């Protein structure tokens, strides 16, 4: 068994720990946000954690009315021209908690009077020691270079914060059902493994989704690059129609995530357009209408749309892993990469 596979399989238990152990912290943070008069959020992150930041951007705005921006850390390091974040909730997300530019962003925001939160797998890291509050990922050692279990743990932390801010106990009950849904999604392993053989030739792939699952498209694209070395580009379907659609040629693999919810019909229409232009559709969905469009369908269990990114990413993780193995690559040790990447 590869280390990557082992860590993918650990995700239900990791998410359960995040929900149960971080709930008191999420409640304290929500109260601090209310007391501080927070007007907006800023998230500083890199790599996989940056993809989690997109989930935060959509979820806190949609469910809690808090607009969220993604930080540009070079403003705090190389340019040394930090914007004023005094009335913000500034969140640093980092598996290692060691990236200098993320730490600097959170440090500067706190010095300006922002409420600061670290989401990290290392409670003794520079990031954790810099932020006012910490939500640990509780994932245990992640030994594979590519992040899997820490990614869904980051999403769970963000979802937990959203629940605490809303004060809606029914949403907490929904969140507590996610580990079971992730376990069910993990059962796609065999069908994804078989499908990956078909795409071992693949040099380029497009990843499409929108809204909450734009983060999922970004994350699956990143994993496919990291593990299988395939040039993969993720787009919002809305952006894809503004030019990149012209790049579709016959049998180009197009990996799409479409779940039941507000964007379902809009995404379905966009994917029909892509298919009509010759794209070979690989679809992750809980929707029969979407799955029947696919040359390669991966069915996931239905969950509330706001929680779907934790479930929808699972077939994508399997796809990247088995695509790498079908090409005789070592998924645990991708070339040129290290577990801790320190940027400034």
CA distances from 20 to 30, 46, 136, 138, 172 (A): 16, 26, 12, 11, 10
Residue with tokens 């820490």: 150
As a whole-number percent, the residues of the chain with pLDDT over 90 amount to: 93
Establish whether domains 3-176 and 188-326 are of one fold: yes
- String of DSSP letters for 253-265: EEEEEE-SSTTHH
Tell me: pLDDT of 333 over 60. yes
- On the 0-12 / 13-18 / 19+ scale of CB atoms within 10 A, 152 is buried
Q: Is 52 left (phi over 0), alpha (psi -120 to 50) or beta?
A: alpha
Mapped to the 3 state alphabet, what secondary structure does 86-133 carry? CCEEEEEEECCCCCHHHHHHHHHHHHCCCEEEEEECCCCCHHHHHCCE
Record: fold of 188-326:
Rossmann fold (3.40.50)
Q: Note if the pTM is more than 0.95.
A: yes
Buried b / exposed e over 271-303, threshold 16 CB at 10 Å, is: beebbeeebbbbbbbbbeebbebbebbbbbeeb
Mean pLDDT over 94-108 rounds to: 96
Q: In terms of Cα–Cα distance, which of 191, 155, 165, 153 is closest to 308? A: 155
Tens of pLDDT, residue by residue over 6-58, are 999 999 999 999 999 999 999 999 999 999 989 899 999 999 999 999 999 99
CA separation for the pair 98, 61 (Å, rounded): 28
* Side-chain half-sphere exposure of 102, counting CA atoms within 13 A: 31
Record: fold of 3-176:
Rossmann fold (3.40.50)
Are β-strands 40-45 and 68-70 bridged in parallel, bridged antiparallel, or unpaired?
Answer: parallel
Q: In terms of Cα–Cα distance, which of 250, 239, 244, 246 is closest to 210? A: 239
Sequence ranges of the domains in the chain: 3-176, 188-326
Mean pLDDT over 131-148 rounds to: 96
Binned at pLDDT 50, 70 and 90, residue 342 comes out as low
CA separation for the pair 307, 222 (Å, rounded): 20
């Amino acid at each position: 068994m590869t280390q990557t596979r082992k860590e993918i399989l650990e995700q239900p238990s990791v998410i359960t720990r995040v929900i149960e152990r971080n709930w008191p912290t999420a409640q304290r943070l929500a109260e601090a946000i209310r007391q501080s008069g927070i007007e907006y959020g800023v998230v500083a992150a890199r790599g996989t954690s940056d993809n989690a930041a997109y989930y935060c951007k959509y979820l806190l705005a949609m469910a809690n009315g808090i607009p969220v921006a993604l930080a540009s850390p070079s403003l705090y390091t190389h340019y040394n021209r930090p914007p004023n974040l005094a009335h913000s909730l500034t969140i640093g997300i980092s598996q290692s908690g060691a990236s200098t530019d993320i730490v600097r962003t959170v440090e500067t925001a706190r010095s300006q009077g922002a409420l600061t939160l670290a989401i990290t797998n290392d409670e003794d890291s520079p990031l954790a020691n810099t932020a006012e509050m910490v939500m640990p990922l509780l994932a245990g050692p992640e030994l594979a270079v590519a992040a899997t279990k820490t990614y869904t743990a980051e999403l769970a932390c963000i979802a937990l914060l959203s629940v605490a801010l809303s004060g809606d106990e029914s949403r907490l009950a929904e969140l507590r059902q996610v580990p079971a849904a992730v376990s069910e999604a993990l059962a796609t392993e065999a069908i994804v493994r078989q499908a990956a053989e078909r795409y071992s030739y693949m040099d380029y792939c497009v990843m499409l989704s929108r809204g909450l699952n734009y983060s999922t498209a970004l994350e699956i694209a990143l994993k496919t690059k990291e593990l299988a070395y395939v040039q993969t580009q993720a787009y919002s379907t809305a952006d894809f129609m503004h030019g990149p659609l012209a790049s579709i040629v016959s049998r180009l693999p197009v990996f799409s995530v479409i779940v039941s919810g507000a964007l379902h019909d809009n995404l379905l229409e966009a994917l029909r357009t892509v298919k009509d232009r010759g794209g070979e559709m690989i679809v992750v969905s809980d929707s029969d209408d979407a799955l029947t469009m696919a040359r390669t369908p991966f069915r996931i269990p239905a969950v509330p749309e706001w929680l779907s990114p934790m479930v929808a990413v699972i077939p994508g993780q399997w796809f990247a892993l088995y695509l790498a193995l079908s090409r005789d690559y070592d998924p645990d040790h991708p070339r040129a990469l290290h577990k801790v990447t320190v940027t400034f």
